[in-house]
């Protein structure tokens, strides 16, 4: 067992915080090389005090000046940098072995790719990066001898069930991947009332505590739409062999069905520290701090097919998967824009699917040979287009007034 030096990109977020929690339990195995945050300077400063990284990266010069001043006052020598290039620099620095890619959204793409190009061990939470750049990302990982380990609980479960010790699914008789989904907070809510749900209601997930963007994605089930695409690339699995199953208790995190009809499942309490600890220690196992699973206290484990009329965002994700993922950049970008607008109460919850679908309808799909520049251009075009589409929708406040 050798010491792993970690760059944790997005260390102040939900995944970043859980990663530090696991790292702190094993000071003999993990040392922090770099921590990064966008705007949460207070939180990042506290993390620097506890974990003494060599480098800390923030979003802009102002934040960097503030953090530097606080670090110096506290007599800490952590070096401070800012901006996207600094993120890519800590992701590829010789001083780090393992990169935890836990930035949310397209903002994490460049640094995740930089880690792949540098041949790092990458613990990937940032599913949007893989959804955007699937073929390119997997090619980069292979060409540079990087190691990719999924943190997303479903993909981590599938990784464990495959039993190949890698994301490789070939040669072990896999028939299909079954991704479980809780169904989020609105699984049973009356459909007509979805128009009026608030951001706080959408972010109140029954089983998991997560950042606000992925919480809304879980409520619309776009999260599962992104995850089927993530699974397609991670495990090189044809679209027709990836399924989604609603399992409201979130105890089975996903399953793999094999040719002989054996189905293997990975179980655990819904706490991200389990997949995080799995990936951090792989191929060994370490304590994650998660409570033991007590199945005698589970009244039931239930399963059902998803209702695509209730979850149009999942329908769109599955459609993009079926069509070969060429529209996945558009799907992701339109969703990021729409979710942000919903969180700022500019559009309704039910407008999210509307904006994504109309953006998909308007824009051409990307060629399979797309390079990073093509991907970034398609991302930008989808953002502009979805904003234009949103401008045609009645503003949320105006809608609320019209109702009363």
Output the known binding site.
12-15, 39, 126-128, 152-154, 182, 205, 211, 218, 223-224, 227
Residue nearest to ligand NAD according to CB distances in the complex: 13
Subset of residues 22 to 61 that bind ligand NAD, contact rule: CB under 6 A: 37-38, 40, 59
Instruction: Report cis status (omega within 30 of 0) of the bond before 283.
Output: yes
Residue 150 contact partner, candidates Mg ion, ligand NAD, none, CB within 5 to 8 A by sort of partner = none
Nearer to ligand NAD, 38 or 232 (CB): 38
Subset of residues 129 to 188 that bind ligand NAD, contact rule: CB under 6 A: 152
Q: At 388, phi and psi to the nearest 5?
A: -65, -40
- Say if residues 232 and 154 touch (Cβ distance below 8 Å): no
Contact stretch for ligand NAD (CB under 6 A) within 126-134, 191-199, 326-334, 337-345: 126-134
The residue within the footprint of ligand NAD, chosen from 71, 103, 162, 327 (CB under 6 A), is: 103
The residue within the footprint of ligand NAD, chosen from 7, 12, 68, 169 (CB under 6 A), is: 12
CB-based contacts of 186, cutoff 8 Å, min separation 6: 194, 197, 202, 219, 310
Contact stretch for ligand NAD (CB under 6 A) within 6-14, 187-195, 289-297, 386-394: 6-14
Instruction: Verify binding: residue 152, Mg ion, rule CB under 5 A.
Output: yes
Subset of residues 290 to 319 that bind ligand NAD, contact rule: CB under 6 A: none
Taking the complex as a whole, the smallest distance from the CB of residue 163 to ligand NAD amounts, in Å, to 22
- Say if residues 59 and 38 touch (Cβ distance below 8 Å): yes
Taking the complex as a whole, the smallest distance from the CB of residue 272 to Mg ion amounts, in Å, to 9
The residue within the footprint of ligand NAD, chosen from 83, 119, 206, 211 (CB under 6 A), is: 211
């Amino acid at each position: 067992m050798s010491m792993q030096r970690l760059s944790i990109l997005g260390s102040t977020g939900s995944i970043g915080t859980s990663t530090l929690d696991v790292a702190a339990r094993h000071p003999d195995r993990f040392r922090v090389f770099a921590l990064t945050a966008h705007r949460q300077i207070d939180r990042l400063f506290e993390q620097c005090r506890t974990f003494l990284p060599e480098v800390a990266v923030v979003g802009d010069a102002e934040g960097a000046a503030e953090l530097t001043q606080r670090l110096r006052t506290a007599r800490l020598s952590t070096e401070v940098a800012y901006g996207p290039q600094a993120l890519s620099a800590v992701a590829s620095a010789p001083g780090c072995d393992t990169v935890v890619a836990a930035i949310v959204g397209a903002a994490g793409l460049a640094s995740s790719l930089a880690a792949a190009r540098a041949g790092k061990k990458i613990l990937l939470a940032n599913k949007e990066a893989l959804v955007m750049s699937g073929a390119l990302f997997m090619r980069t990982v292979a060409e540079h001898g990087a190691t990719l380990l999924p943190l997303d609980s479903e993909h981590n479960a599938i990784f464990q069930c495959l039993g190949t010790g890698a994301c490789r699914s070939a040669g072990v008789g896999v028939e299909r991947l079954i991704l479980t989904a809780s169904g989020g907070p609105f699984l049973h809510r009356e459909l007509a009332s979805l128009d009026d749900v608030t951001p706080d209601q959408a972010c109140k997930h029954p089983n998991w505590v997560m950042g606000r963007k992925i919480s809304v994605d879980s409520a619309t089930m776009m999260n599962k739409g992104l995850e089927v695409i993530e699974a397609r690339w991670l495990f090189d699995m044809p679209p027709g062999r990836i399924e989604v199953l609603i399992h409201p208790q979130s105890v089975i995190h996903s399953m793999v069905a094999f040719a002989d009809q054996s189905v293997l499942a990975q179980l655990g309490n819904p706490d991200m520290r389990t997949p995080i600890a799995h990936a951090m220690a792989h191929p060994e196992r370490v304590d994650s701090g998660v409570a033991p699973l007590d199945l005698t206290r589970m009244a039931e484990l239930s399963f059902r097919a998803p209702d695509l009329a209730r979850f149009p965002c999942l329908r769109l994700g599955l459609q993009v998967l079926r069509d070969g993922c060429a529209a996945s950049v558009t799907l992701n970008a339109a969703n990021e824009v729409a979710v942000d607008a919903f969180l700022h109460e500019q559009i309704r919850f039910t407008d999210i699917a509307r904006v994504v679908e109309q953006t998909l309808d308007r824009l051409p799909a990307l060629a399979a040979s797309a390079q990073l520049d093509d991907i970034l251009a398609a991302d930008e075009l989808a953002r502009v287009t979805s904003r234009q589409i949103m401008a045609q929708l009645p503003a949320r406040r105006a809608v609320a007034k019209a109702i009363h």
